[in-house]
């Protein structure tokens, strides 16, 4: 099977971008699954009504929803005591933001003023310090998406962005890792021209444009990130040439001046994605920098602007399709058809030098489809149809060591569909139709007990499924 799935990023880099996946580790509530808190989304009680449940116990977290109502996204707070979620809980079709404490399931608090019919919250992120939640909604004006913050302890609610004109909206945002504010993307200065702005929580509505001003037809893309040390923002934009997406960095406090992080690209060449290394000293990115339409992996060291290729030798029409940083900053893992065209395998490159394949031999037609680095940097967990074509299963490779299948053997027609390594590096939580071909359920496999798993949801019947989950 040949599918070019995006990789699951290393867990510390997820940062609740969608509000659906959590990070964190050790300690905590447990809920019968060791030191991790696991919550899942399923139509467990009513077919096609998707609600939140605690793993193992199957306790419903949110107040009961009616037919046609659903939870759409959710996250566990950093202290693992509560869930933040979006649902049309009070009015069908009006999606609002709520908090529910795990100690008092079924009792929720709305985190903003009530919204009128036709309005809604579209995305949220918890601040890393766990003190507040930031979200986008057309809260004040219908169809004008703006940025808001609610302090969880007081429910104080504040608009963060500067005033927007007709047709202008906040597109998306990133919370600064030190929890001091946010960087957001909006067409705030010029309608249809998306640029980056910074606003401090201490000075709402006083935003500063970060990138040099862009003309009509140019945009900062949705690919941008605040560096882990909270000093700057890295972004992709066609800033220097229309239709040529390149990689830039702006230092906070030196606004309007950016540094390009890749060599100049020509029309038809583009940077498509990137990650900042954990120590903020360099950036890894994917681009067709050397040959148009051949995407390879590169690194730029920020101080000195030293640029180097990380992926192995690529020939013909071969490409790198996805990559993930190793949390200890030693290197990167990536998926590519590096050795054989259209056979996607898993590789590791160390910044100190050396490139090695990580997966075991693949069956004819098999591919590696997704990867996550174990948080303790000892190896990787990956999804592949390694043993049987079309049967996606989970495998672990220890760096420099053995390769092991983690889930129990699956018959033809069954597959693992999504997974997350636990923050304490002890196991992996995954969705699969492992027991019943027509029901997708949630399981946990310990790295110390490969080939066995524990079901985390309570009984489901045909037509019911686990559709999402989070681990913290």
The pLDDT-based confidence of 297 (bands split at 50, 70, 90) is very high
How much is the pLDDT for 335? 99
Instruction: Indicate whether 19 pLDDT > 50.
Output: no
Report pLDDT digits (tens) over 306-324: 999 999 987 778 899 999 9
CATH no., domain 210-337 = 2.120.10.30
How much is the pLDDT for 411? 87
What is the overall mean pLDDT for the chain? 93
How much is the pLDDT for 314? 79
Domain pair 210-337 / 358-471, same fold: yes
3-state SS string for the chain: CCCCCCCCCCHHHCCCCCCCCCCCCCCCCCCCCCCCCEEEEEEEEECCEEEEEECCCCCECCCCCCCCCCEEEEEECCCCCEEEEEEEEEECCEEEEEEEECCCCCCEEECCCCCCCCCCEEEEEECCCCCEEEEEECCCCCCCCEEEEEECCCCCEEECCCCCCCCCCEEEEEECCCCCEEEEEEEEEECCEEEEEEEECCCCCCCEECCCCCCCCCCEEEEEEECCCCCEEEEEECCCCCCCCEEEEEECCCCCCCEECCCCCCCCCCEEEEEECCCCCEEEEEEEEEECCEEEEEEEECCCCEEEECCCCCCCCCCEEEEEECCCCCEEEEEEEEEECCEEEEEEEECCCCEEECCCCCCCCCCEEEEEECCCCCEEEEEECCCCCCCCEEEEEECCCCEEECCCCCCCCCCEEEEEECCCCCEEEEEEEEEECCEEEEEEEEHHHCCCCEECCCCCCCCCCEEEEEEC
Stretch 378-400: mean pLDDT, rounded?
98
Instruction: Indicate whether 30 pLDDT > 50.
Output: no
The pLDDT-based confidence of 35 (bands split at 50, 70, 90) is confident
Stretch 121-142: mean pLDDT, rounded?
98
How much is the pLDDT for 62? 99
Stretch 177-188: mean pLDDT, rounded?
99
The pLDDT-based confidence of 138 (bands split at 50, 70, 90) is very high
Decide: pTM greater than 0.95: no
How much is the pLDDT for 1? 53
How much is the pLDDT for 34? 56
How much is the pLDDT for 242? 96
How much is the pLDDT for 23? 33
CATH no., domain 358-471 = 2.120.10.30
The pLDDT-based confidence of 13 (bands split at 50, 70, 90) is very low
Q: Where are the domains of the chain?
A: 210-337, 358-471
């Amino acid at each position: 099977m040949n599918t070019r799935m995006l990789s699951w990023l290393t867990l510390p880099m997820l940062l609740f971008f969608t509000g659906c996946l959590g990070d964190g580790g050790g300690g905590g509530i447990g809920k019968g699954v060791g030191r991790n808190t696991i919550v899942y989304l399923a139509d467990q009680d009513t077919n096609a009504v998707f609600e939140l449940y605690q793993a193992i116990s199957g306790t419903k977290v949110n107040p009961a929803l009616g037919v046609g109502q659903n939870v759409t996204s959710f996250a566990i707070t950093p202290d693992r005591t509560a869930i933040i979620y979006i649902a049309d809980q009070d009015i069908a079709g009006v999606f609002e933001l709520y908090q529910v404490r795990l100690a008092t399931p079924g009792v929720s608090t709305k985190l903003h003023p009530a919204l009128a019919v036709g309005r809604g919250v579209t995305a949220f992120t918890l601040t890393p310090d766990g003190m507040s939640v930031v979200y986008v909604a057309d809260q004040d004006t219908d169809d004008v998406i703006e940025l808001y913050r609610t302090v969880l302890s007081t429910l104080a609610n504040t608009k963060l962005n500067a005033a927007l004109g007709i047709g202008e909206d906040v597109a998306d945002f990133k919370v600064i890792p030190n929890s001091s504010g946010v960087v957001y993307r909006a067409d705030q200065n010029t309608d249809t021209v998306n640029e980056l702005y910074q606003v401090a929580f201490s000075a709402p509505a006083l935003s500063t444009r970060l990138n040099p001003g862009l003309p009509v037809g140019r945009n900062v893309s949705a690919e941008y990130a605040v560096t882990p040390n909270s000093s700057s923002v890295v972004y992709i934009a066609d800033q220097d040439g229309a239709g040529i997406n390149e990689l830039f960095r702006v230092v906070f406090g030196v606004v309007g001046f950016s540094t390009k992080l890749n060599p100049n690209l020509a029309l038809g060449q583009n940077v498509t994605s990137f990650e900042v290394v954990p120590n903020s000293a360099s950036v890894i990115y994917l681009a067709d920098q050397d040959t148009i339409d051949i995407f390879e992996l590169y690194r730029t060291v920020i101080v000195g602007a030293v640029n180097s290729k990380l992926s192995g030798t690529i020939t013909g029409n071969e490409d790198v399709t996805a990559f993930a940083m190793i949390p200890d900053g030693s290197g990167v893992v990536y998926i590519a058809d590096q050795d054989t065209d259209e056979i996607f395998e898993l590789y590791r490159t160390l910044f100190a030098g050396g490139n090695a394949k990580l997966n075991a031999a693949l069956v004819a037609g098999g591919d590696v489809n997704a990867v996550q680095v174990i948080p303790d940097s000892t190896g990787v967990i990956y999804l592949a149809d390694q043993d049987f074509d079309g049967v996606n299963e989970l495998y672990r490779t220890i760096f420099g060591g053995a390769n092991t299948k983690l889930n129990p053997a699956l018959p033809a027609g069954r597959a693992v569909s999504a997974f997350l390594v636990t923050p304490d590096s002890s196991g992996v939580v995954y969705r699969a139709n492992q027991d019943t071909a027509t029901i997708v359920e949630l399981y946990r496999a310990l790295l110390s007990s490969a080939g066995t798993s524990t079901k985390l949801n309570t009984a489901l019947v045909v037509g019911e499924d686990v559709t999402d989950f989070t681990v913290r």
